[in-house]
Amino acid sequence: MLAIFSSIARIIDAILLQPVAAIIEAILGAVYYFFAISYFIGYFLVKCGTLIWRYLCEGYEVANVVYRRCAHYFSELCNIIFDVAEYAYYGITDLTTAIGLFLSNLLMGIGNFTIWLLMLLPRALVRLADYLVNMLYKLGQYIVEHGLHLLDNAFRLSIGIAVLLVLYMFRRYVYLMTLYALQKIYTEISKAALCAWTWANNRMSWLVQKLRIQPAELSLVQADVCVICLERGRSIVILPCRHLCLCKHCSQQLHRTEGGHRCPICRNYIDTLLQIYA
């Protein structure tokens, strides 16, 4: 999960943050040059306005001085044209005042325009910052939602893995129990086979000992005496081998002895017992 979040962070940094950083650096450079140019223009306008105003004032003062000197030196000569000179003086004064007011208003307008230009970029930066903050908020919300989605998927995946592990452990348990049961069955079968083998050996030894009886007794046994008790007459036939070798009492007790499912003579399996004598 840490590797996934690290890769997502690198992708976001490469796709979004680095371009945003480049845009911010470009905006800061533009702001710097804009302020430098604005400062230069404002400084130039202020200096030019100051020089023009000073030259106008100096010209006005020079003209006033010249006028006064001319009026002083030529007062007597200019009595005829005094009215004309007075009208000209007031006209020049009014014109100078109008020009001064015009220039003053012009400079004030230039100053207001300069202030508007200077405030234009900060306003744009404020708008851009607001847009970036909104975009970053939406991006953070998107990242949080997808992170929660990934955590939910990881949680469900962990639950699935846990279920698979439980199923695997259950399957392993069933497999081990099956092996244990098969091993136990094999052990019981081995014990039963060993017991059957032991019983067969004992019966063979017993039969060998019985076969060593006297010839008279042997002929009697082969005639009609039960091969197990050697006392009662034979009355039961064993199928399918068809040996007539048991009495009724021994045939009823045969299944209680070891190897009671085999014929005492040929050792074949017994399917059924058939009584032929009462």
Higher pLDDT, 225 or 41: 225
Structure tokens at 210: 């019985």
Query: Are 150 and 228 part of one and the same domain?
Result: no
Query: Are 236 and 125 part of one and the same domain?
Result: no
Query: Are 38 and 127 part of one and the same domain?
Result: yes
Query: What whole-number distance in Å separates Cα of residue 98 and Cα of residue 229?
Result: 162
Question: Contact, 270 vs 261, CB < 8 A?
Answer: yes
Q: Is residue 26 part of a domain?
A: yes
Final residue belonging to a domain, choices 159, 175, 204 = 159
Query: Are 14 and 139 part of one and the same domain?
Result: yes
Query: Are 16 and 118 part of one and the same domain?
Result: yes
Final residue belonging to a domain, choices 159, 184, 200 = 159
Q: Is residue 228 part of a domain?
A: yes
Question: How many structural domains are present in the chain?
Answer: 2
Its domain, for residue 259, covers 214-275
Mean pLDDT of the residues in the chain: 78
For the entire predicted model, the pTM comes to 0.26
Q: Is residue 141 part of a domain?
A: yes
Q: What is the DSSP string of 4-35?
A: HHHHHHHHHIIIIIHHHHHHHHHHHHHHHHHH
Query: What whole-number distance in Å separates Cα of residue 232 and Cα of residue 227?
Result: 9
Query: Are 234 and 102 part of one and the same domain?
Result: no
Query: Are 27 and 151 part of one and the same domain?
Result: yes
Closest CA to 203 of 112, 267, 111, 154: 267
Query: Are 54 and 117 part of one and the same domain?
Result: yes
Query: Are 146 and 83 part of one and the same domain?
Result: yes
pLDDT the model gives residue 162: 85
- Helix axis angle for 82-211 and 18-73, nearest 10°, is 170
Query: What whole-number distance in Å separates Cα of residue 76 and Cα of residue 3?
Result: 105
The whole-number average pLDDT for the span 149-177 is 85
pLDDT digits (tens, 9 = 90+) for 209-251: 656 544 444 444 455 788 888 888 888 888 888 888 888 888 8
